[in-house]
Amino acid sequence: MSAQGNEEELVPEVITRSRKRQAEQDTVVLSTGVKIRIKPIAAMLLADILAELEKQKPKVPVVLIESKGRTEENPADPDYIRSLEAFEARTASAFNDVMIVEGTELISAPKTLGGPDDPGFLERMSVLGRPIGSGVARYLVWMKYVAAPRTEDIALIIGEVGRKSGVSEDDVQTAARHFRGEDRR
């Protein structure tokens, strides 16, 4: 057999090994034993959602300073601070939801956890008054409450999906800090 024949036979094997390595790199195991595939998300989707939320950002209140005869912003206003904290929490939650819904896919879960359609999970969420919906909404709730219940799990998802999607490391770190509550004032 010629050297060229050997090379032609090796090409499919090399491609198969490369695809297997890529699939392994795209797989994450959460603390619960749930195995997910990491997928890139559309940068514009994330940008559009965050832009919509930005429109809801509270405005810094303006107060009249009579002694100066002018108005000034008052970023220390307690109501403004509470509103800003709530806004930051909504933004972090929306960011996390996009990362989970668009950036993950369930590969497997331990039998003890069931899955998004597990009757026990559905009943528990119903008793607790949690909206579970169906399909993607159910998957999101299951991921947040069952598959990835620890902040470390969510941080891992955000980090891996962010890297896969080309989100800057700074943005990933900011989102993770907001999720953990480290940026609270």
Q: 3-state SS string over 11-31?
A: HHHHHHHHHHHHHHHCEEECC
Cα 185 to Cα 180: distance, rounded to the nearest angstrom: 13
Asked if the structure places residue 7 within a domain, the reply is no
The Cβ-side half-sphere exposure at 116, using a 13 Å CA radius, reads: 20
Please list the alpha-helical segments (H only) found in 26-63.
43-54
Asked if the structure places residue 80 within a domain, the reply is yes
pLDDT score of 169: 65
| CB 62 within 8 Å of CB 72 | yes
Report the sign of the C-alpha dihedral through residues 109, 112, 118, 120, in that order.
Answer: negative
Cα 162 to Cα 169: distance, rounded to the nearest angstrom: 8
* Collapsed DSSP state (helix, strand, coil) of residue 71: strand
The total domain count for the chain is 1
Specify the higher pLDDT residue, 47 or 143: 143
Cα 53 to Cα 99: distance, rounded to the nearest angstrom: 16
Asked if the structure places residue 69 within a domain, the reply is yes
Has residue 167 got a pLDDT over 90? Answer: no
- Flag whether the pTM goes above 0.85: no
pLDDT per position as a tens digit, 66-111: 888 888 999 999 999 999 999 999 999 999 999 999 999 999 999 9
Find the Cα–Cα–Cα–Cα dihedral 79, 80, 81, 85, rounded to 10°. 100
Quote the domain boundaries for residue 158: 25-180
pLDDT score of 131: 80
Q: Residue 13's pLDDT band (boundaries 50, 70, 90)? A: low
* Collapsed DSSP state (helix, strand, coil) of residue 107: strand
